[in-house]
A and B are shown apart, each in its own frame.
Chain A
Amino acid sequence: MASDTSKRSSYFLISPMALIFAVFLVIPLLTIVVVSFWDYDEYRILPDFIFENYKYLLGSSVTWSIYLNTLKYAVLTWFFTLIIGFTVAYFLAFHVRSLTWQIVFFMLCTIPFWTSNIIRMISWIPFLGRNGLLNSALINLGIVDQPLEFLLFSDFAVVLADVHLYALFMVVPIFNSMMRIDRSLVEAARDAGASGFETLKSIIVPLSKPGIAIGSIFVITVVMGDFITVRLMSGGQSASVGLQISNEIGLLQYPAAAASAVVLLITVLLIVTALLRLVDIRKEL
């Protein structure tokens, strides 16, 4: 009897969250899948069951080059955020020796992430622009004689902004993993004559893997689906899958957008499934 009531109370307690996810996550995603088989003309979407949207999408070489481009952004961003995230987390966890300073430095890293992504992208304009700080400095120092054009509105700018936006997503989970490493392991390694690099390679990196996996999932999925960074930072000169979807939405070609969305979703889920083999998320909390 008692377990019956407690079960019922669990179901009661979870129901609001389950309901919201059902209405605003599950049903919308199913809607996308359904609509991806629909037809459309200039004015409206027409219920149907056709494969034209997929045929057109997968048969177009543009799609493949857009996917390649998006993957390029994702891999580059992942690589740089991983290097930065690991180094920063390692510094905080193993080289800052007082807990107070660890907290202060950690807060220092997180504060910029509480502001709007769009504002953080815009903030690169005065720095990278043709007359921006970096170009002026380079010209004044005599390193270049003309402003570098590739700094803003380029692939470089997109990856730079992505790294700037999402580096914290790597720092936090890796730092979390590192703080759980038993310090006596590190000391034992050192007593046994391991160099700093050997300790890093055979103890710290393997034990930080869950954090690395979680951070990677975050960064890769967010960059794969991104469209606003690409639009703002490439100045409309590059494309990504998300941007393609948002353009199709803008043109009211909803079934085409839905088909792109389904393919993107499958891609992202495959990547995540691969990464989840490395980590059990529920254990890491």
Chain B
Amino acid sequence: MAFFSKNRERRPTSFYFLAAFFALFVLFLYGPMLTIFILSFQGENGGLTFPMNGFSFHWFGNLFEKQAVGDFGGSFSRSLKLGLIVMVVTVVVSFMAGMAFRKRYKGDSIVFYLAIASLIVPSILISLGIGLLFNIVQWQPQWFTSALGAHLTWTFPFGLLIMFAVFNRFDPSFEEAARDLGASNWQTIQYVVLPMVGPSLIGVAMFSFTLSYDEFARTLMTAGALNTLPLEIYGMTTNVTTPVLYALGTVTTGFSFLVIALALGTVAIMRRRKGQKA
């Protein structure tokens, strides 16, 4: 705490250099996004670059006409559904695995190293491997089978690592107290463990949804006949040369932010409820 209370000390010169560097970094992160956000409101005769040729919602309208840019609605709804399935499965399975890892047992490091491997194996290899496997056993790849599995190999490591971080700091005496008071295993999980790790599980949910919703490389050979949204966007980059591309960027980015806002809102509500109970 001593660190924070010495607030009034004079700032060294290096602080101003670092602050300027940080400001530039933020500009670097946000600048390009802002330009496509602005350009998505390009006038009807405007092009892919500045200047703005008027202001319109033309390109957003264009997005929803089926002929103009492929199947935006269908791919969006598939990505949404896939993201939600991945989210639920990741939260449940990561929580279970996190609980399992609190005790040492034979072979526990195998799953841990598989998770790390899953994180560092290039995504295109997962795509290729699953695609080949389905090809050889003659299963039809589908977004809800092969692509789902491919996405889970990407979200599980994050889910597991987050659960590790949570349970490393988790005090088991709360559970012991619950058990001493006669709670069953399930009651202990329901009334003690889940409320305590709840906010982190929301974090896992948000993480896994967004990772799946934006995943491109792992979907490439596993989605089957029907595109997910990132595949659709990728297709557009090669054959669409109008600002409708930017409109799509603005819409999906807006949607991602909505998901974050929802997740943060839920955590805030959970915190408040907990506060009221205490």
- Let me know if A122 and B237 touch, CB within 8 A: yes
Is B64 interfacial (CB 8 A cutoff)?
no
Is B73 interfacial (CB 8 A cutoff)?
no
Alpha-carbon distance between A224 and B125 when the two chains are bound, in angstroms? 12
Is B54 interfacial (CB 8 A cutoff)?
no
Alpha-carbon distance between A264 and B128 when the two chains are bound, in angstroms? 13
Is A72 interfacial (CB 8 A cutoff)?
no
- Let me know if A10 and B260 touch, CB within 8 A: no
Interface residues of A, count at CB 8 A: 86
Alpha-carbon distance between A28 and B39 when the two chains are bound, in angstroms? 42
Alpha-carbon distance between A261 and B128 when the two chains are bound, in angstroms? 9
Which B residues touch A221, using CB under 8 A?
120, 122
Alpha-carbon distance between A183 and B114 when the two chains are bound, in angstroms? 36
**Closest beta carbon of chain A to B238's beta carbon, Å:** 9
Question: B183-216: contact bitstring with A at CB < 8 Å (1 yes, 0 no)?
Answer: 0000000000000000000000000001000101
- Interface residue tally on B, bucketed by range: 35 or more
Alpha-carbon distance between A18 and B109 when the two chains are bound, in angstroms? 11
Alpha-carbon distance between A232 and B116 when the two chains are bound, in angstroms? 28
Which B residues touch A245, using CB under 8 A?
124-125, 128
- Let me know if B256 and A114 touch, CB within 8 A: yes
Interface residues of chain A: helix, strand, loop or mixed (majority)? helix
Alpha-carbon distance between A268 and B119 when the two chains are bound, in angstroms? 12
**Closest beta carbon of chain A to B249's beta carbon, Å:** 4
Partner-A contacts on B (CB < 8 A):
2-4, 6-7, 11-12, 14-15, 18-19, 21-22, 25-26, 28-33, 35-36, 39, 48-50, 92-94, 96-97, 99-101, 103, 105, 108, 110-112, 114-118, 120-126, 128-133, 135-136, 149-150, 152-153, 156, 160-161, 164-165, 168, 210, 214, 216-217, 220-221, 230, 233-234, 237, 245-246, 248-249, 252-253, 256-257, 259-260
